[in-house]
Amino acid sequence: MNAQHSIQLPEPECAFGYSERQLRDALGDRYDDFIEYVLMRANAICTGNSPCAVAHGNTFYQHDVQRFVERA
């Protein structure tokens, strides 16, 4: 465990998970590492239709973000 790497994750603002904008805010300079980390993984595009009422665009699953933060 290395305290300098600990990232506080907010609650995902989208029904699918975290929006791109939200992750940029939460991860800061680790954002590019995260994009590399999820490159080969599935992610959802939120179009503002059910189950989410707001079109968030590219979103990332909470469990992927969680795993990335925990291994960081």
Stretch that binds Zn ion, among 10-18, 20-28, 29-37, 62-70 (CB under 5 A): 10-18
Helix (H, G, I), strand (E, B) or coil at 43: coil
Q: For residues 5 and 72, is the Cβ–Cβ distance under 8 A?
A: yes
CA dist., res. 34 & res. 40, Å (int): 11
Structure tokens belonging to residue 61: 């699953």
Each residue 21-50 as x (binds Zn ion by CB under 5 A) or -, in order, gives -------------------------x----
Binding test (CB under 5 A) with Zn ion, winner from 34, 52, 60, 65: 52
Shortest Å distance, C-beta 16 to Zn ion: 6
